[in-house]
Amino acid sequence: MDYQNILYSVEARVACIRLNRPKALNALTPELLNEVSDALDRAAADADVGAIVLTGEGRGFSSGADLIANMSNPPLDDKGQLDLGLALETTYNPLVLKMRALSKPIIAAVNGIAAGAAANIALLADLTIAARSAYFLQAFVNIGLIPDAGGTWALPRLAGPQRAMGMCLLGERLPAEQAHQWGMIWDVVDDEQLMPSAMALAGKLANGPAFAIERIKRTIHQAADNDLPEQLAMERELQRECGRTNDFAEGVSAFIQKRKANFKGR
């Protein structure tokens, strides 16, 4: 795919996907989201990529859905009525599910504004880092909508029901520092350190034990829906798999020999 709305690059085993509509604050369109989806597939299939960074060019991560562009060609049902659910079904929801299912870790690096669906996409990354000046905004209620792109699922799990309800009902800015204090994001850093920090974190993951990392992702994500016996059973089966890998043998040898492990992802 020839990208018109994102930038894609690979450096030191890290794929970087940059939303690239800076004049529109990287507002989301179906075309942009389809390109992000394609880039995720590309990174997933690349043996030279071990982790992914998702960020935005310019002043912000993304201002959310591009209302002007989207409503100039609105989604309609077979009766000609406006159908915003159609856009979710065909574009947003598949992207969110793809992010969760991807075997390689995704780090969202949030600069400036992350609003609406873009905020929820960022928060559904495996790890989220934000610049100190960044903020999250559940803007949906301000235009008479409910949160989407997985927001109503992720926010109560990340921040608790009361805070999630407040964010969604009030539609006010949540500063990155506050999001970090609430445990919604992994880290907040000085603005100029955002990309260096994100790339360093991604680099560490990209060179880690990929077999185990994929299974760690799976167990943590599944824990939200499993009861304790189910989770213990899942741990047992996946630990059995990890214990038979070359990476486990290498990790033990490196520990005993007091050297850095050289993982191969198998």
Question: SS3 sequence, 154-200?
Answer: HHHHHHCHHHHHHHHHHCCEEEHHHHHHCCCCCEEECHHHHHHHHHH
Q: pLDDT per residue over 147-201, tens digit each?
A: 999 999 999 999 999 999 999 999 999 999 999 999 999 999 999 999 999 999 9
Angle at 28 between CA 79 and CA 71, to 5 degrees: 35
Is residue 111 within 8 A of residue 225, CB to CB? The reply is: no
- Whether the pTM exceeds 0.95: the reply is no
CATH architecture, range 210-257:
Orthogonal Bundle (1.10)
Kindly list the domain boundaries of the chain, sorted by start residue: 6-206, 210-257
Q: In what order do the strands lie in the sheet with 173-175?
A: 113-115, 135-137, 173-175
Length of the chain: 266
**Which among 114, 227, 126, 235 has a CA at the least distance from the CA of 179?**
114
Measure the CA–CA gap between 116 and 197, rounded to whole angstroms: 25
Averaged confidence pLDDT in the chain = 94
Confidence (pLDDT) at 171: 96
Confidence of residue 78 (pLDDT cuts 50, 70, 90): confident
Q: pLDDT per residue over 195-225, tens digit each?
A: 999 999 999 999 999 999 999 999 999 998 9
The residues near 68 (Cβ < 8 Å, ≥ 6 apart) are none
Structure tokens at 181: 């204090």
Query: Is the model's pLDDT at 71 over the cut of 80?
Result: no
Confidence (pLDDT) at 19: 98
**In CATH, 6-206 is 2.60.40.10:** no
Structure tokens at 85: 């659910």
Structure tokens at 102: 């991807």
